A and B are shown apart, each in its own frame.
Chain A
Amino acid sequence: MILSVDGVSKSFDGFKAINDLSFYLEEGELRTVIGPNGAGKSTFMDLITARTRPDEGQITLHLEEGHDVDLRRVREHQVSQLGIGRKFQNPTVYASHSVYDNLLLSLNNNRGIWASLRFKEQKRDREKIFEVMKAIRLQDVKGTLAGALSHGQKQWLEIGMLLAQDPKIMLVDEPAAGMSDEETDRTGELLLGLAGKHSLIVIEHDMEFVRQIASRVTVLHQGSVLKEGDFDTVRSDEKVVEVYLGRQARKH
């Protein structure tokens, strides 16, 4: 196991966004998180990346050889150094730099400020960049300015920028939003290819896409886990159907 979230709650102005949530991620797993609006998906990501702190419960990153990190006690900027990378919904790439340079700027070499200033591109850096470009299938446009890429290519580049940092856990928020069908399929292949080498949590609404990538699905509702299982188990669950059709609201 690489990440465990135990009994976590978080309120904002008296509203319980996350309510006694427990969630466990195996190493190398690709987990898809779904849920209707307001289910707490974004807050859940914020908690894992130390953007917000839980009121209760524990969030632990399990590193090698029994080395555990209490994620409640790290600062937001330390999270990426610990190997947790997050890709937000809208692509944020350096528009006036090439694909190659975007990746170069993202490399994780643990450099201090002086080393960064004197930084010279090494052979292993180039190899790493080509490896990432191959994974995100942007080798053919390596010299293109990021701002000139299609929406889908920008999303892949941003995933590549996360990859350049060798993350252990990747949090990916709605990668398929705004993509063409073909781009969506390719994104699915890309994420499936990353599983195993990385552990992934993907938040997504597009059910065709979820079906394509999902092995294990977690359904969030009102800040808790409503159901967990493979795609077919989840989609045939009566509670899940009710929640998606808004019927839960009526019963409270």
Chain B
Amino acid sequence: MNTMTDYEGKAKKLSDDEILLSIDEFSAGYDASLILKNVSMAVPRNQVVALLGRNGVGKTTLLNSIMGLVSASGGSMTFNGRLVDSLAPDRRARLGIGYVPQGRDIFPGLSVWENLNVSLRVSGVAREEAEARLNEVYELFPVLKEMLKRKGGVLSGGQQQQLAIGRALLLKPKLLILDEPTEGIQPSIIDQIEDAIYAIKKKGNMSVILVEQYLDFARNASDRFYILERGSVVRKGEIDQLDNDLIARYLTV
């Protein structure tokens, strides 16, 4: 049993079945520095969890750790009932963890179609299934369908972000990790990304971890939150418990 406790201490038990990703007393760092200190976190199935905190508190390091890109100095992670600590990033991706890193990392020299096709090839799904998945992505981000032949590198930042999310969705992840999806993006596209998260939630077969500085966006899109400070979880709870006190204490100056 894992316990999700809100910051006022009201405990709400979640069964193991209800938890997709469980991070238990995880510590990690680079060289001699310690970036994450005994982080515990639970991502329930089909929920959006906001991971909040100021710059430099360890959010991206935690995401990289979930993906297996940072080696642990302590603790463990369980994904979908399976210990993943010894698994390389590609194995974790195949188990259903999709990662859209900050800065998006699309292939700039490949067309939009080729970028998407990389995912389809990797997933190895049959043609019909591939078509169905593509259509779902086009429905979320119509602009991608209009620009299939355009090189990824010439898209606007917002379009690149949509492409990166679309590319991750084609792999049908059980967990989608988004690192600052609204950073440097124009408002109209922020709305579309927000709508895409709602649509994902409505479908009810994917969890999302959202790292986001844009608080209103994170609040609207999320069910729960965790706040990191100096590499430790200092607060967690249901998203409506994220009050002005916490915001002033941990998110602003």
Q: Interface of A with B (CB < 8 Å)?
A: 34, 36-38, 149-151, 154, 174, 177-181, 184, 205-208, 210, 217, 219, 231, 234-235, 240-241, 244-247, 249-250, 252
Whether B214 and A249, one on each chain, are in contact in the complex, defined by CB atoms closer than 8 angstroms, is: yes
Whether A245 and B190, one on each chain, are in contact in the complex, defined by CB atoms closer than 8 angstroms, is: no
Whether A34 and B253, one on each chain, are in contact in the complex, defined by CB atoms closer than 8 angstroms, is: yes
Whether B252 and A241, one on each chain, are in contact in the complex, defined by CB atoms closer than 8 angstroms, is: yes
With A154-B32, A178-B29: A247-B184 Cβ-Cβ less than 8 Å: no
Q: 8 Å CB contacts to A: which residues of B204-238? A: 212-217, 229-230
Whether B252 and A240, one on each chain, are in contact in the complex, defined by CB atoms closer than 8 angstroms, is: yes
> How many Å lie between the Cα of A244 and that of B217 in the bound state?
13
> How many Å lie between the Cα of A212 and that of B177 in the bound state?
34
Whether B183 and A37, one on each chain, are in contact in the complex, defined by CB atoms closer than 8 angstroms, is: yes
Instruction: With both chains docked as a complex, state the minimum distance between the C-beta of B79 and any C-beta of chain A, in angstroms.
Output: 26
Whether B252 and A245, one on each chain, are in contact in the complex, defined by CB atoms closer than 8 angstroms, is: yes
> How many Å lie between the Cα of A179 and that of B58 in the bound state?
12
> How many Å lie between the Cα of A148 and that of B252 in the bound state?
36
Whether A205 and B31, one on each chain, are in contact in the complex, defined by CB atoms closer than 8 angstroms, is: no
Whether B187 and A178, one on each chain, are in contact in the complex, defined by CB atoms closer than 8 angstroms, is: no
> How many Å lie between the Cα of A247 and that of B214 in the bound state?
6
Whether B33 and A179, one on each chain, are in contact in the complex, defined by CB atoms closer than 8 angstroms, is: yes
B133 within 8 A of A: no
Whether A246 and B253, one on each chain, are in contact in the complex, defined by CB atoms closer than 8 angstroms, is: no
Residue from A149, A180, A244 whose CB has the most chain B CB atoms within 10 Å: A244
Nearest to A150 among chain B residues (CB) is B32
B118 within 8 A of A: no
> How many Å lie between the Cα of A245 and that of B217 in the bound state?
10
Nearest to B31 among chain A residues (CB) is A151
B150 within 8 A of A: no
Residue from A38, A174, A210, A241 whose CB has the most chain B CB atoms within 10 Å: A241
Residues of B within 8 A of A178 (CB): 29-30, 33-35
> How many Å lie between the Cα of A208 and that of B232 in the bound state?
14
Whether B56 and A245, one on each chain, are in contact in the complex, defined by CB atoms closer than 8 angstroms, is: no
B246 within 8 A of A: no
Nearest to A232 among chain B residues (CB) is B253
Contact digits for B175-194, partner A, Cβ 8 Å, 1 yes 0 no: 00000001111110010000
Residue in A149, A177, A219, A235 whose CB lies within 8 Å of B56: A177
Whether B32 and A246, one on each chain, are in contact in the complex, defined by CB atoms closer than 8 angstroms, is: no
Instruction: With both chains docked as a complex, state the minimum distance between the C-beta of B109 and any C-beta of chain A, in angstroms.
Output: 18
- Additional A-B contact list (9), CB under 8 Å, known A38-B184, A252-B186: A36-B213, A38-B183, A151-B31, A178-B33, A217-B253, A241-B248, A245-B213, A246-B214, A249-B190
Instruction: With both chains docked as a complex, state the minimum distance between the C-beta of B206 and any C-beta of chain A, in angstroms.
Output: 24
Q: Interface of B with A (CB < 8 Å)?
A: 29-35, 54-57, 182-187, 190, 212-217, 229-230, 247-248, 251-253
Q: What are 30 A-B pairs at a CB distance below 8 A?
A: A34-B253, A36-B55, A37-B183, A38-B184, A149-B32, A150-B32, A151-B31, A151-B32, A178-B33, A205-B57, A206-B56, A206-B230, A207-B54, A231-B253, A235-B253, A241-B248, A244-B54, A245-B213, A245-B215, A245-B247, A245-B251, A246-B182, A246-B215, A247-B214, A249-B185, A249-B187, A250-B214, A250-B216, A252-B186, A252-B187
Instruction: With both chains docked as a complex, state the minimum distance between the C-beta of B101 and any C-beta of chain A, in angstroms.
Output: 14
Residues of B within 8 A of A181 (CB): 230
> How many Å lie between the Cα of A36 and that of B214 in the bound state?
11
Residues of A within 8 A of B213 (CB): 36-37, 244-246
With A174-B56, A205-B56, A250-B187: A244-B33 Cβ-Cβ less than 8 Å: no
Nearest to B33 among chain A residues (CB) is A178
- For the complex of A and B, 7 pairs with smallest distance between CB atoms: A178-B33, A246-B214, A205-B56, A151-B32, A151-B33, A245-B215, A205-B55
> How many Å lie between the Cα of A178 and that of B252 in the bound state?
20
Residues of B within 8 A of A206 (CB): 54, 56-57, 230
Whether A247 and B182, one on each chain, are in contact in the complex, defined by CB atoms closer than 8 angstroms, is: no
Nearest to B29 among chain A residues (CB) is A178
Instruction: With both chains docked as a complex, state the minimum distance between the C-beta of A109 and any C-beta of chain B, in angstroms.
Output: 31
Instruction: With both chains docked as a complex, state the minimum distance between the C-beta of B216 and any C-beta of chain A, in angstroms.
Output: 7
Residues of A within 8 A of B229 (CB): 208
With A178-B35, A246-B215: A207-B230 Cβ-Cβ less than 8 Å: no
Instruction: With both chains docked as a complex, state the minimum distance between the C-beta of A126 and any C-beta of chain B, in angstroms.
Output: 28
Residues of A within 8 A of B184 (CB): 38, 249
